[in-house]
Structure 1
């Protein structure tokens, strides 16, 4: 029902279907829980060997009495942060997610606020979190595109913790051995993460990522009728992505792509460049023909610093449905002009609307 496949390195969408529809993400939203945990670890506010206590709320809501996915942490026990992370990544443990939330945020709702605040910071514009588990709750919604954005963020921002997603088994308390619920980490197609999800109303979903050579693909699928379809469809789409596309160079590193109008600057235009070379992945049989437009809110007000993101290049290939949005940056500094020049710029805006 909902899907998106993107090439992470090129930051290009290869396929999408209903990718901006808000849906219950189920346990896939635990990726946001882990994003907060990893941030706290990286900042030094918590450590992997710190322990958090199993509260009655965490035990009853997400543990053995809940009848949901759990690591069966005993009530009142002290559990290490590392064990809790493994419980979440391997077993999708709801009790593990709640124990982490209460240990970091003080309360579940305190942590949920941290989740929502951090989601906004990293650009998850269509996501709203009501709990750290993904258990059914009114208003707990994400899109496939936000899930893919979140997966890419985790891979690139927290590489030191990413290995937990590919861990095949987790031995806990010498009593339980949990096997990773993501079936594709057991396959031979390069998958090294990330997270499954299931709710009756949303169907089966999976956020997966696979790497072959220098190419990494990220895939989100949701709304599938059973576990078998979730696995087979995800495998099929990843294989298609790796086999069916090749890169086309649009612009070289440092090459000026266009220019944007400037208000109140020593120059009327600022050059636009990409962050390195800009490649577009197209079907292997493609002609390479593309159409595009540059979008920005202008004129851009000076001063402008080289490297400021000020525009977006929207590119569509004849052979693809998706529109790829590539950020563009100022290619040089533009200092503010004097008062008289700013007055002239204002008159030009009033008279011509910058149709220069």
Structure 2
């Protein structure tokens, strides 16, 4: 396995940062004896799989592979559009973060204000919450995730933050932390607001990855359910894939006249998870067909090529001022490349980090990315973490490291 160090370059935005890129390997999955240079296009005559025709009929569509970070299909992935009730995924994610930080408890009860009950009881999809009613955070999350209850999202927002603007401020702060730089949230539930709330498919995939990977237990508790009971009534999910597409477990539909029919979906089969977005479909039937076909295509037209086991050393990054001159880099889950079932594509890998890293470095700290490119497709990115801690160097460590750096 060849390792090539690329020359450092300046980051245009920050000016002072240097980019180190290590070419790890070129894995050729083609006919025996054939090989192509790094970052070359596909072999002559080889094309990436073509998505189903129904998928191309919707204004926005995207399919991403979470294990490799690769985008398998994208159409208008960076176009702003109204998410409608998919907004509730960000409300749920914020609630999950607050629960993880100990600032919100599932068993905690919130009181429905008279104003909220008057405005939101029965408005769109609803839990029909009454003024003065005490509702647990757990039930509110079930209501917004499964039944898409608008009043549940408002009660959760007001109960924690005091008012809706304060809650949406927290939503937007979390969005920025996730790198959702082309999205903005003005409501907790996605009710029409003259375009003030907007997202992109690319940003929704970022949100989905964080929702599922950071909070797997909460995700599986609240999402992927077909129904739940509330005050003797059975509230149904509108998810077009759960129970129909094998492995489908969410995430959220959305519909308003302004937005059309939307869906943010996910499925997992044998440890391989796909995330997809459909935006602006003309009907619920079109949304359902496109969603199901896109997920099935992701599994039938593409296969996983294992690259690295979870926590296995992938490479290393240089360290400045540490008791060691380098730190091993690992991924926290198995890494693979998504390749067409027909094969024939070259896989190129690069480790990218701003370096050298500066000690001390904590074990598990995110310090770089593994870039995965199949053929001439868009590169996917997998976070890389420090495989062990690196302490600050003492005098003897600095002397030893300095001498080692003199060795070619």
TM-based fold match above 0.5: yes
2:95 touches 2:104 (CA, 8 Å); kept in 1?
no
CA distance in 2 between counterparts of 1:150 and 1:99 reads 22
TM-score (normalised: structure 2): 0.72
CA distance in 2 between counterparts of 1:224 and 1:337 reads 58
Look up the match of 1:72: 128
1:52 touches 1:99 (CA, 8 Å); kept in 2?
yes
Distance change in 2, residues 1:94/1:299 (3 Å): same
CA distance in 1 between counterparts of 2:161 and 2:96 reads 14
Unaligned runs of 5+ in 2: 1-58, 402-407
Unaligned runs of 5+ in 1: 346-355
1:55 touches 1:99 (CA, 8 Å); kept in 2?
no
Instruction: Quote the offset at 1:205 in angstroms.
Output: 0.9
Look up the match of 1:220: 277
Distance change in 2, residues 1:139/1:293 (3 Å): farther
Look up the match of 1:351: none
Residues 1:86 and 2:139 aligned together: no
Segments of 4+ moved more than 6 angstroms: 338-342
Instruction: Quote the offset at 1:307 in angstroms.
Output: 3.9
Q: How is 1:152-167 mapped onto 2 (pairs within 5 angstroms)?
A: 152-156=209-213, 157-160=215-218, 162-167=220-225
Q: Paired residues, what number? A: 344
Of Structure 1 and Structure 2, the greater helix share is in: 1
Distance change in 2, residues 1:16/1:135 (3 Å): same
CA distance in 2 between counterparts of 1:172 and 1:275 reads 38
Look up the match of 1:14: 72
CA distance in 2 between counterparts of 1:74 and 1:219 reads 36
Look up the match of 2:37: none
Distance change in 2, residues 1:172/1:25 (3 Å): same
Q: Secondary structure at the match of 1:230?
A: helix
Instruction: Quote the offset at 1:286 in angstroms.
Output: 1.4
Distance change in 2, residues 1:276/1:53 (3 Å): closer
Q: Secondary structure at the match of 1:182?
A: coil
Q: How is 1:43-58 mapped onto 2 (pairs within 5 angstroms)?
A: 43=102, 45-48=104-107, 50-58=109-117
CA distance in 2 between counterparts of 1:28 and 1:164 reads 14
CA distance in 1 between counterparts of 2:208 and 2:373 reads 24
Greater Cα shift, 112-121 or 280-289: 112-121
Q: How is 1:110-259 mapped onto 2 (pairs within 5 angstroms)?
A: 110-137=166-193, 138-156=195-213, 157-160=215-218, 162-174=220-232, 176-251=233-308, 257-259=314-316
Look up the match of 1:311: 368
From 140, 156, 160, the equivalent of 1:100 is: 156
Instruction: Quote the offset at 1:238 in angstroms.
Output: 0.8
Distance change in 2, residues 1:170/1:327 (3 Å): closer
CA displacement, residues 5-50 of structure 1 (integer Å, 9 cap, x when unaligned): 2333454433333333333221101011112333444537334362
CA distance in 2 between counterparts of 1:158 and 1:250 reads 23
2:192 touches 2:258 (CA, 8 Å); kept in 1?
no
CA RMSD of aligned residues (A): 3.4
Look up the match of 1:353: none
Look up the match of 2:377: 321
